[in-house]
Amino acid sequence: MKHRLRYAAGLAAGGLLLLWLFCLPRDLFEGVSYSTVVTDRHGALLGARVADDGQWRFPPRDTLPEKFVRALVEFEDRRFFDHCGVSLRALARAAVQNIRSGRIVSGGSTISMQVIRLSRRKPRTVWQKVIELFMSTRLEARCSKEEILRLYAAHAPFGGNVVGIDAALWRYLGDSGAELSWAEAATLAVLQNAPSSIHLAKSRDLLLTKRNRLLARLRDKGVLSEEEYALAVEEPLIGRPLPMPQHAPHCVAWCDRTEHGRLTETQIDLVLQRRVEELTARWSRELRLSGVRDLAAVVVDVESGEVVAYCGNSDPTFERDGRWVDIARAPRSSGSILKPLLYAAALQEGVILPRTLLPDVPTDFGGFAPKNFDGTYAGAVAADEALARSLNVPNVHLLKEFGVMRFAETLQQAGFRSLNRPAKEYGLSLVLGGAEVTLLDAVSCYAKMAACYADTTRYRGFPLRDRIALYRTFEAMREVNRPDQMDWRRAVSVQNVAWKTGTSYGSRDAWAVGVTPQYAVGVWAGNADGSGIPDMTGARTAGPILFDLFNLLPRTGWFEPPSENEGVKRAVCRHSGHLAGRCCTEVDTVMLSPNACKSRVCPYCREEHLSLDGAWRIADRSEPTRVGHFFVLPPVMEHYYKQQHPDYRPLPPLKKGAGIEPTAPSMHFIYPSDGSVVSLPRQIDGTLAALNCSVTHSDPATEVFWHLDNSYLGSTIYVHQMSVQLRSGVHRITVIDSSGHAQIVSIIVV
């Protein structure tokens, strides 16, 4: 019988031990929802969102304010650091008090027992008290005293919808508690004991009495000196709850969507963030006068690659549709801000050299007819100048030569995540705003360019890594005219910035992005609903804001030039910017990217046999001649180029009747170009308006004969223009000069 009893007792003890070992769940507060909390790089609160149950309950943190811990332990559980989860003395005292009062006035619970009660959320009964006693001993065995205190402080109620010490500090004090006073610590320790009956809105006298009583106990134990006690009791009580901080609200909202219910530590600098928000709010108020309602700005630290200031949309206090749209992450038409990336990629791959001449003439690319912003054409423009002046036509020609698919892949590798359509859908408009990008991706891309220039081991998958190409790109971007028309070269106080602006079709988006060796900054202005604003441009609207933002940042120097051993030195034609050929007489030796050897040799410089006086070109070698060197552009490029370059020297005329006529074409269509899709408006009588065609000829005095399909139209001399009446469909326009040279274009009229 005794053996059976011992066996049963052993089984019971073993079962009780197993129950004790496994009575606690792995996560005590599993299922509890927390607030989304977002901090800056130093731990300062940027903003927060309430938990799913509507409570301000911050995720537990690793440290607690020391003064609060001393006050809490003294008020709640003086023997906390001595017992193993249960205080028999506290239970006995509570029992005596309850018997004398005839009701429950004290529970005798330790902090460990209260952690169990908060985690289980069960009705307060004697049986539940027994369970708490049992589980609290297991909690003590699993966790350290500091961990138990952190669990309790993170889940204790502090009145209203405030749960946990961290939320209470921000709601009642407006800070993190780093400089918590003894009076504040005592108030919070008392407040969490009975937040439903004693809180900041009512029973303030009772709260004050209990606070001062706790302060007196701390003084009596030697925690506070007499002077500290006297100052603490004179300190007024905490006032009403304060609103949570609302810095970088769109960034906080993003974190709430992606890291919901967690603590997110960003690299935003709160001091800089406040200054950026103040500046953008001030600019936003000014821009509203011209119909611009929304403004976004991003600042990225080049070295770390982290965002240090983020304004998704300025001044959310201004009531308007779209104020909560996070413009910095919203895909918008890129305008011209991708042109520097095309220039850098083309330099890196040897497609062009820094000053390679690009065509700047009216061109129709199969129905896509880009135009420069000012409506003029230069005939031919150096690539770096085309970037600095943001000319559309030369950059489209460059994109055509580089390849749309190749450039789209480069942009995707550079981090433009919104480019998710096939390259052919973007077409040649890709470099002019045909693609939608985000401000955050654009600024991050320019920051990576600067980072890769400083350290070529950074960002191994980033496509733009050639230091010479990057330096040439930054130099060209530095030449962009500033919004105040200031010459940065003459002003020592002006910071050097490589920057680019952009304006989307219909003036819906104004961009400005700039980079220095330390920072990349981007600005977007417009309306979140996509409506256009007359006269809004990136240079006039976003540019001034960009430089104001740079003025908030520490001054930095300019990019150090690359060393000579990083590239190759080649002779470059001074006229065309191409690699010098045998006919190039004026050359410069320039350090270029390693792939520059793949670039074309100058196609424009050539030798001609001239009469001895140089007045004629001679085709008949039997006559005495001398060799002349000429820089000769194709006719249509020459037509516009010589208007802006009075020093341009055209070829002398060919001496008539002397030998064989040259086979090279001496004329070219200015408009329309071959393969154009032409849209003609209808007139009042329903007929299509006439198409004004134009041809350039190296000898304007030559008579040119015009033909439409199989019909003769007439001839022109000196000014080679012809108005042609057309019907919808495919047509062929032919011009023939008096020497028999012909040019033909096929067009589609719609």
Phi, psi at 128, each rounded to 5°: -65, -30
**210: Cα within 13 Å, side-chain hemisphere:** 24
Rounded distance between C-alpha atoms, residue 571 and residue 702, angstroms = 38
**pLDDT-derived band of residue 105, with 50, 70 and 90 as boundaries?**
very low
**Mean pLDDT, rounded, for 633-650:** 88
**Mean pLDDT, rounded, for 127-139:** 74
Rounded distance between C-alpha atoms, residue 599 and residue 489, angstroms = 32
**Mean pLDDT, rounded, for 138-151:** 84
**pLDDT-derived band of residue 488, with 50, 70 and 90 as boundaries?**
very low
The string of pLDDT tens digits covering residues 183-225 is: 999 999 988 766 655 566 667 888 889 999 999 999 999 999 9
Query: Which helix (H) or strand (E) segment is 708 a member of?
Result: strand 704-708
Q: What percent of the chain clears pLDDT 90, i.e. is strictly above it?
A: 54
* pLDDT higher at 634 or 443: 443
**pLDDT-derived band of residue 680, with 50, 70 and 90 as boundaries?**
confident
CA proximity to 481, closest of 401, 529, 543: 543
Residue 106 has pLDDT above 70, yes or no: no
DSSP E strand stretches across 527-639: 568-573, 587-592, 605-610, 626-631
Residue pair 211/193 in contact (Cβ under 8 Å)? The answer is no
Q: Give how far Cα 82 sits from Cα of 78, 321, 392, Å.
A: 9, 60, 78
**76: Cα within 13 Å, side-chain hemisphere:** 28
Tell me, what's the pLDDT at 676? 82
Residue 705 has pLDDT above 90, yes or no: yes
Tell me, what's the pLDDT at 137? 77
**Mean pLDDT, rounded, for 387-413:** 95
* pLDDT higher at 567 or 622: 567
Rounded distance between C-alpha atoms, residue 373 and residue 93, angstroms = 86
**Mean pLDDT, rounded, for 418-438:** 94
**Domain edges within the chain:** 32-234, 331-515, 567-634, 667-749
Which residues on adjacent β-strands are paired with residue 453?
A: none
Residue 90 has pLDDT above 60, yes or no: no
Which residues on adjacent β-strands are paired with residue 380?
A: 359
For the CA atoms of 149, 153, 154, 155, what is the dihedral angle to 10 degrees? 110
Rounded distance between C-alpha atoms, residue 156 and residue 196, angstroms = 12
Q: Using a cut of 0.75, tell me whether the model's pTM lies above it.
A: yes
**Mean pLDDT, rounded, for 168-183:** 88
* pLDDT higher at 150 or 192: 150
* pLDDT higher at 374 or 662: 374
**Mean pLDDT, rounded, for 249-272:** 95
246: CB partners within 8 A, 6+ apart? 47, 252, 316
Residue 489 has pLDDT above 60, yes or no: no
CATH annotation of 331-515: 3.40.710.10
Which residues on adjacent β-strands are paired with residue 360?
A: 379
The string of pLDDT tens digits covering residues 515-564 is: 999 999 999 999 999 999 998 999 999 999 999 999 999 999 999 999 98
Assigned architecture for domain 32-234: Orthogonal Bundle (1.10)
Rounded distance between C-alpha atoms, residue 651 and residue 141, angstroms = 98
Q: Which of these ranges, 385-394, 461-470, 657-666, has the smallest mean pLDDT? A: 657-666
**Mean pLDDT, rounded, for 578-602:** 94
Residue 485 has pLDDT above 80, yes or no: no
Any idea which residue has 């050639």 for tokens? 466
CA proximity to 696, closest of 369, 362, 382, 358: 362
The string of pLDDT tens digits covering residues 321-332 is: 888 999 999 999
Tell me, what's the pLDDT at 214? 93
For residue 68, the SS3 value is: helix
Q: What percent of the chain clears pLDDT 70, i.e. is strictly above it?
A: 88
Tell me, what's the pLDDT at 390? 93
**Mean pLDDT, rounded, for 649-667:** 66
* pLDDT higher at 492 or 675: 675
Tokens representing residue 403 in the block: 């390849």
**pLDDT-derived band of residue 491, with 50, 70 and 90 as boundaries?**
very low
Tell me, what's the pLDDT at 61? 84
Residue pair 353/577 in contact (Cβ under 8 Å)? The answer is yes
Residue 670 has pLDDT above 80, yes or no: yes
**Mean pLDDT, rounded, for 684-693:** 81
Q: Which of these ranges, 172-181, 320-329, 339-348, has the smallest mean pLDDT? A: 172-181
**pLDDT-derived band of residue 27, with 50, 70 and 90 as boundaries?**
confident
Q: Measure CA of the first residue to CA of the last residue in the chain; give whole Å.
A: 109
Tell me, what's the pLDDT at 490? 44
Tell me, what's the pLDDT at 92? 59
Q: What is the mean pLDDT of the chain?
A: 87
The string of pLDDT tens digits covering residues 111-126 is: 888 888 888 777 766 6
Residue 44 has pLDDT above 70, yes or no: yes
Which residues on adjacent β-strands are paired with residue 506?
A: none
Residue pair 173/205 in contact (Cβ under 8 Å)? The answer is no
* pLDDT higher at 176 or 44: 44
96: CB partners within 8 A, 6+ apart? none
Strands 294-301 and 263-265: unpaired
Is domain 667-749 annotated with CATH 2.60.40.10? Answer: yes
